[in-house]
Chains A and B, each alone.
Chain A
Amino acid sequence: MEPVIEFKDFSFKYRAQTQPTLRDINLSIMPGEKVLIVGPSGSGKSTLAHCINGLVPFSYPGDMTGTLRVGGKNPADIGLFGVSRIVGTVLQDTDGQFIGLTVAEDLAFSLENNLVPQEEMFAKVDEVAELVDVKKLLENAPRELSGGQKQRVSMGGVMVDDVEILLFDEPLANLDPATGKRAIALIDEIRKNRKSTIIIIEHRLEDALYRDVDRIIVDTVPDELLVTNVLAGQGIREPLYITALKHAGCNILAADRPQHIETMKLDNYKQPLREWFNKAERKKEKNKSVSALKVEDLYFSYVSGRPVLQHIHFDIKKGEMVSIVGKNGAGKSTLSNLICGFYKPGKGRILLNGEDVASLSIKERGEKIGLVMQSPNQMISKPMIYEEVALGLTVRGVPEEEIKERVYETLKICGLYPFRNWPVSALSFGQKKRVSIASILVMNPEVLILDEPTAGQDYRHYTEIMEFLKDINENLGITVIMITHDMHLMLEYTDRAIVIADGNLIADDTPARILTNEIIADKAYLKKTSLYDLAVSCQIDNPSEFVDRFIAYERQQRELRLREKSTKISGF
């Protein structure tokens, strides 16, 4: 059989760069294979995807050496449009991929461009809508759809072309865990029905492995890959149950099929795991009692009688690190909008340090409660780093001298001091994120609210940002609230999670207990953690305690590693 995609000694260098992004790639993918490509940001996996779908070299020019065949043809000969008949791409940003004014038009977009007559289009759109289960939504506009529905439309939009190869660029990045799980299942179904070749690029390995894949590229069979330490070395998160077993000192064998926790053979691992559980230390309870942000019976609605939020009640203590979780559209952002004063609550009170904030203006609240938006591009408005960080102080009329002092101090905390005279545009995405956090920190807020702080970041950058936030939390005593749907984040870095579903607060508990509670996880579109399944399969009678101990152990390990690193740096 001929491979459907074949790279031979392939290298590629973007025109604007001095080093090749891809070097000596040799890769063959056979028709009908389902392949997962993993790698941290900057590893070149997006570039590899662009080579497959033709954006390289047609939209992003550069120098290529070696050979590349897509569907047996040379992309350079058939052009971008030729490649698009063979490879269908579903982009990470499903919002951006949605072009039509309605679902039906978006599904038809490619047909329109290929001059398909209208009657034929109607039939084809109906057929595809059935396949990706959006039949009832055909008349809807994109803003009326959820993230998962938009993604299904995107999939349909590329499948109308009868492409041989479906390429998914980080399909899980913008979805809540349960929706992500469904997306992976749908991809699997499509592959079974249409016998298409599937290529998934993703760094959320555990989630992507929810259904079988044939091959993971850092070139190995999944079961074999999981038993090695290649992933961690590459800055990719291995599935948590694998990590747990490794902590327990187990030597995992590929023969036990570790690809899925549900079907993995655990007989040889039960004993060591239970022993480890009994030995492992309990999590240290931190005692925090002073209230920082208290919300009492909050109610909000745009249209009276249809509450977006109701009966919201919680009390966040000073110095806590808390996550607010729930599916897209559950009311999380509305909550942060209410806290910051952008909206006025219909009922209820918000108390900061025991005082009602209702009378404070947005600006006054902004000095005490800092809000960091998801993308730094949504915040940065000055060309220079110094100016950007100083902005909040400048508009408040703080004297020049004091501004300078406070900005420098903040830049030092954020590790940006060496760049203080740089333009913002010279920074990487992660550094820009830090600038946006610094521009809020400079005002000495008591509470910091972050909207999806790690969205679109790979494990390495994710760790970097989260360690930084933890540092701020511990050393400066700032209360940190994170709005997220990343379960790793809530599990690893927060001691408490507030779960919102359909405008109601349905849980306020430790992440370990929430992620081991099936009912809550279902309602909030979260997913039970695989650690829970592992604990249950190994007959550990208190799964949430197991998760707690696992996290405590992980944190300890991470601190040790970090300490080692810092002594290595300063130890001479």
Chain B
Amino acid sequence: MSKILSYEEKDTWIHQLSGVTKLIFFLLWCVVSMMTYDTRILIFMVLFSLVIFKISKTRWEQVGSVFRVIMVFLIFNVVAIFLFSPDQGTRIYGTRTVLFHIAGPYDMTLEQLFYELNVVIKYFTIIPTVFMFLVTTNPSEFAASMNKVGISYNVGYAISIALRYIPDVQGEFTKIKHAQEARGIEMSGKASLLNRIKSTSSIIFPLIFSSMDRIDTVSNAMELRGFGKHKKRTWYMAKKMKKNDYLIIGLTVIFAVAALVFTFADGSRFYNPFI
């Protein structure tokens, strides 16, 4: 089974950074990307995230399938903006340069194209960083980081335990599916969609029941070993903050502030090349 979006141990300085650092970087990066529509900053961010993506030695197989799904969403998004609001660009930039007429109220304008280009670039500023964050951060260390930035360790541990049991549940799912197929419940493309939806119940129920058994055992095992005893807990996988970590956090904060100041200096979040 391919390990999509899962952590892989590699020796790069990004892997060695503490999860806290990466989490803070990731959050601030997203905030800036969401706030600004300044094309110059966005382009800088795309280039920068491609560079760190490269440095993190992430392989295409780790992220490829998810990337394709995101692309589909991106296309939907872009088309939908145009369908529902074909003059958004004009409203933002104040001019209207018609390239050609399409039909009814729909004109293709340069302003609209530019606006949607900005939307696309925004996607690309975030995608590589998300991937980089997920595949370079050990899940346990991630849980530890969340705890350090003040989120309850229950939340972090819930994520970590989900990751622990996903392969088990997947295995169980395949087993149950096979057994039910042998009993004659068709799951393949041969059956109609409606029938397939109906027959999923014959997998889901056994899966739920056997998972319930598992949950019971796991929660007993956790309690017997003192989980939830104190308000805090320590982490085996926690990484100490090093010089690099403070450096990156510092640079990220400076970048975020600078980018936002630069964006809002003229009183608008948009960069306007049309005036």
Name A residues whose Cβ lies closer than 8 Å to a Cβ of B: 53-55, 58-59, 80-81, 84-85, 89, 91, 93, 95-102, 104-105, 108-118, 121-122, 125, 142-143, 157-158, 161, 337, 340-342, 362-363, 365-367, 369-371, 373, 375, 377-382, 391-392, 395-396, 439-440, 443
Instruction: Supply 14 A–B pairs (Cβ within 8 Å), ascending by A.
Output: A91-B217, A96-B221, A97-B218, A100-B140, A100-B236, A101-B160, A109-B225, A337-B178, A366-B181, A366-B182, A366-B184, A377-B210, A378-B176, A395-B183
Answer yes or no: B266 CB below 8 A from chain A CBs: no
Assess the A101–B182 pair: CB atoms within 8 A: no
- The tally of residues in B whose CB lies under 8 Å from a CB in A reads 51
Q: B226 to chain A: which residues have CB within 8 Å?
A: 81, 84-85, 110, 113-114
Assess the A392–B183 pair: CB atoms within 8 A: yes
Q: B172 to chain A: which residues have CB within 8 Å?
A: 378
Assess the A110–B225 pair: CB atoms within 8 A: yes
Assess the A118–B178 pair: CB atoms within 8 A: no
The CA-CA distance from A355 to B266 in the complex, in Å, is: 81
Assess the B225–A158 pair: CB atoms within 8 A: yes
The CA-CA distance from A367 to B181 in the complex, in Å, is: 11
In the complex, which residues 119-151 of chain B have their Cβ closer than 8 Å to any Cβ of chain A?
Answer: 138-140
The CA-CA distance from A161 to B227 in the complex, in Å, is: 13
Answer yes or no: B275 CB below 8 A from chain A CBs: no
Assess the B205–A381 pair: CB atoms within 8 A: yes
Answer yes or no: B78 CB below 8 A from chain A CBs: no
User: Which 9 residue pairs of A and B lie closest in terms of their CB atoms, listed nearest first?
Assistant: A96-B217, A366-B182, A108-B236, A113-B226, A381-B202, A110-B225, A97-B221, A342-B178, A392-B183
Answer yes or no: B11 CB below 8 A from chain A CBs: no
Further contacts, 5 of them, CB under 8 A, given A80-B223, A99-B161, A113-B233: A101-B163, A108-B236, A111-B234, A379-B180, A391-B183
Q: A371 to chain B: which residues have CB within 8 Å?
A: 178-179, 182
Q: B91 to chain A: which residues have CB within 8 Å?
A: none
Minimum CB distance partner of B176 in chain A? A378
Answer yes or no: B107 CB below 8 A from chain A CBs: no
Contact flags (1/0) for B173-192 with A, using CB distance below 8 Å?
00110111111111000000
> DSSP class of A's interface residues: helix, strand, loop or mixed?
helix
Instruction: Tell me how far the C-beta of B240 lies from the nearest C-beta in chain A, rounded to whole angstroms.
Output: 8
Q: A99-B221, A99-B222, A157-B225 are in contact. Are A378 and B179 (CB under 8 A)?
A: yes
Q: A113-B227, A142-B164, A381-B180 are in contact. Are A363 and B186 (CB under 8 A)?
A: yes
The CA-CA distance from A85 to B224 in the complex, in Å, is: 9
Q: A89 to chain B: which residues have CB within 8 Å?
A: 224
The CA-CA distance from A157 to B236 in the complex, in Å, is: 13
Answer yes or no: B100 CB below 8 A from chain A CBs: no
The CA-CA distance from A395 to B224 in the complex, in Å, is: 45
Q: A95 to chain B: which residues have CB within 8 Å?
A: 168, 214
The CA-CA distance from A55 to B219 in the complex, in Å, is: 11
Assess the B164–A101 pair: CB atoms within 8 A: yes
Instruction: Tell me how far the C-beta of A103 lies from the nearest C-beta in chain B, rounded to whole angstroms.
Output: 11
Q: A101-B164, A363-B184, A366-B183 are in contact. Are A59 and B223 (CB under 8 A)?
A: yes
